Structure 1
Amino acid sequence: MMKRYLILMVFLLSGPTIIAQDSLLNYQPKVLLVTAHPDDDALFSATIFKTTKLLGGKVDLALMTNGEGGYTYSTLGNYIYNKELDKEEVGRQYLPGIRKQELMAGGDIVGIRNYFFFDQPDFYYTEDVHETLEKWNTDWVHERLVQILKDGDYDFLFLMLPFEEFHGHHKASAVLGLQAMKQLPVDERPIALQAFIRRGENPGVGFTQMEGFPDTKVKEGVLFEFDRSQTFGVNDRLNYNIISNWVIAEHKSQGTMQLLMQTGAKVVEQYWYNELNGDDKLLKTTEYFEAVNAARP
């Protein structure tokens, strides 16, 4: 009786085995995500989930800022964390720790493995990438990013698309990621992809490169996508907006994040192929996104 009880307990504690569909690829993809703020990863959430949970891959996150500038939208967070987070002096003191916890709670949902915190100042909103690069300790960031890329042996480098009207911190995170990648030998570099979202039938952002930063140039006519409204489950009642909503919900200190939640709406993650990759890596990228789109729970 005792033996049967122990076997049952082992089964209950371990839970059912979920088998990744890594047969869709002949390798298990490794991705480094480089973002600016502790909620930007929601942009990539569905593709990350499919990579880690369904394709057996690994995803790590390099976060540039400490997130203290998020106090502006923390009014509702006051009631969750019992602090006046929307007051600048309070928010800047407590939000770096709070937002790291929120980030990692969302990361648990999509399967992020490791976090690299750079804790650069989240000073205020600006679209000026030059100002951001001047205020951050970019030499140190560069050296650390290069080492992470060397140690990680990543297949893909996910970055934020640095289009003109975007936050300067987002642009700077992409610039620094690409500059670090260039320090690796060509045959050891991950494939760089710059990402953003389009909604509904809107064609999305038009982008070629950020002015003054030729490393950000993307290959014309090459765009990879994953539609979060892809359905699955009984009677196709589920879709991947659910995953994105779960991640967003963890960021309770950031009120405007919750306004980005969707249900059945068409929300598409778009990934631009960086010209630095060269044409010889297009096939690997195509096969990866074919697997992302094909994998099912």
Structure 2
Amino acid sequence: MKKTFISLFLLLLSGSLYAQDSTITYKPKVLLVTAHPDDDALFSASVFKITRLMDGVVDLALMTNGEGGYKYSTLGNYIYGKDLDKEKTGREYLPGIRKKELMAGGDIVGIRNYFFFDQEDFYYTLDVREALDKWDTEWIIQRLEKIISEGDYDFMFLMLPFEGTHGHHKASAVLALRALNNLPEDQRPVALENFIRRGPDDPGVPFTMLEGFPLTKVKPGITFEFDRNQTFGFDDRLNYNIIANWVIAEHKSQGTMQLLMSTGVIEQYWYVDINKDQDIEKTRRFFNAINKVNIYEPIE
């Protein structure tokens, strides 16, 4: 019943409840590359706008199988009827459960295709090299090259590989950028690395490059944002944190995710240095469109 209601709501949005008010003349195509089956929540409001309000396409490439999330699955035991917070049980069942949770959230924001790489989610680490040593990196790069080449994407959204984030997050960005760098320039989407600010008073994460991985370097002073606090609806009582909350709520096997709801998030995107300078303007117009297009109230 819940999913039927959400599907009907989103169907309405695709009709008369939104304006195709945009500063771009094409339907954007985006490849989202993440490490774990709930990382897509970082991008959720922008993805919703791209697919639901700009008639664009977003596909998702997921590096790990999510089994390492068993430590946060205590509440999920009561939803799924299994002791998911016990390592053996969690590692057995969470890969399937978390794929379903991911795709339920993806239905909300309009993700089209999923590419599952099913690398081991072994445990939390800050060491990017540990993930790169344990994963099948050559196969990952080759498959990403094929996906990018065949997908004809305009943009590729990555996780910002800053020092304090999970090593798997860093590795997903490093591998995606290696794949991108192997392709001819005319086949490369614009690569953007994402993290969040908690609000206007939060300066965000300082970032130039992940040490030892020059492909992750970003152009200084060039970032793009979407503020989920943008309002719409009757009396401007709604905002895009609602979309993020819906996505987060689907990840019931991951209890700590729920603590990230309604935190006034600003999605921030860094422009990766290997991109062409002439694509800065294309990216600026793209984010102008994301910020401009909005849901509005139908005239009664």
TM range (shorter): over 0.9
Cα distance in 1 for residues equivalent to 2:87 and 2:274:
40
Q: Which amino acid aligns with 2:269?
A: Y
**Which residue of 1 is the match for residue 35 of structure 2?**
36
Matches within 5 A, 1:122-141: 122-141=121-140
**SS of 1:194 mapped into structure 2:** strand
Aligned to 2:264: 266
The one-character-per-residue Cα deviations of 1:74-126 (angstroms, maximum 9, x if unpaired) are 00000000000000000000000000000000000000000000000000000
Give the conservation status (yes or no) of the 8 Å contact 2:22–2:293.
no
Task: Name the residue aligned to 2:82.
Answer: 83
What residue in structure 2 maps to residue 292 of structure 1?
290
- State the TM-score, normalizing by the size of structure 2: 0.92
Equivalent residue letter for 2:15: I
Q: Which residue of the partner structure matches residue 55 of structure 1?
A: 54
Q: Which residue of 1 aligns with 2:4?
A: none
Partner residue of 2:238? 238
Q: 1:222 — aligned with what?
A: 222
SS state at 1:113 partner: coil
For CA contacts below 8 A with separation 6 or more, give which structure has more relative contact order: 2
Structure 2 residue identity aligned to 1:250: E
Q: In 1, distance between residues paired with 2:141 and 2:284? A: 29
Looking at structure 1, the residues matched to 138 and 146 of structure 2 have their Cα atoms a distance apart, in angstroms, of: 13
Length, aligned pairs only: 282
CA contact (8 A) 2:156 2:190 kept: yes
Distance apart, 1:278 and its partner CA: 2.2
- Alignment map for 1:130-279 (pairs within 5 Å): 130-200=129-199, 201-262=201-262, 265-279=263-277
Q: Which runs of 4+ in 1 moved over 4 A?
A: none
Q: Distance in 2 between matches of 1:232 and 1:109?
A: 18
Identity %: 70
Q: Distance in 1 between matches of 2:121 and 2:255?
A: 17
1:8 corresponds to which residue?
A: none
Q: Which amino acid aligns with 1:218?
A: V
Rounded to whole Å, the distance in 1 between the matches of 2:127 and 2:15 is: 45
Question: What residue is the counterpart of 1:18 in the other structure?
Answer: 15
Could you tell me how far apart the structure 2 residues matched to 1:47 and 1:56 are? 13
Tell me how far apart the structure 2 counterparts of residues 36 and 182 of structure 1 sit (CA, whole Å).
19
Query: Which residue number in structure 2 is paired with residue 5 of structure 1?
Result: none
In 2 relative to 1, CA 249–132 (structure 1 residues): closer, same or farther, beyond 3 Å?
same
User: What is the CA deviation profile of residues 13-67 of structure 1, one whole-angstrom value per residue up to 9, with x for unaligned ones?
Assistant: xx65626727531100000000000000000000000000000100000000000
Q: Which moved more, 1:21-30 or 1:214-223?
A: 21-30
Cα distance in 2 between the residues matched to 1:22 and 1:213: 39
Amino acid at match of 1:209: M
Q: Quick one: which amino acid aligns to residue 67 of structure 2?
A: E
CA RMSD, Structure 1 to Structure 2 (Å)? 1.3
Q: Partners in 1 of 2:21 and 2:69 — Cα distance?
A: 38
In structure 2, distance between residues paired with 1:188 and 1:236: 41
Contact 2:22 2:289 in 1 (8 A): no
Aligned mates of 1:34, 1:119 — CA distance in 2? 13
TM-score (norm 1): 0.93
Q: Is the alpha carbon distance of 1:161 and 1:23 closer, same or farther for their aligned partners in structure 2, counting shifts above 3 Å?
A: closer
AA aligned opposite 1:112: I
State the distance in 2 between where 1:288 and 1:215 align. 23
How many Å apart are 1:188 and its aligned residue? 1.8
What is the alpha-carbon distance in structure 1 between the residues aligned to residue 221 and residue 260 of structure 2? 28
Equivalent residues of 2:21, 2:292 under 8 A apart: no
Q: Distance in 1 between matches of 2:280 and 2:271?
A: 8
Alignment correspondent of 1:116? 115
Tell me which amino acid in the other structure corresponds to 1:222: I
CA distance in 2, matches of 1:214, 1:280: 21
Secondary structure of the structure 1 residue equivalent to 2:149 = helix
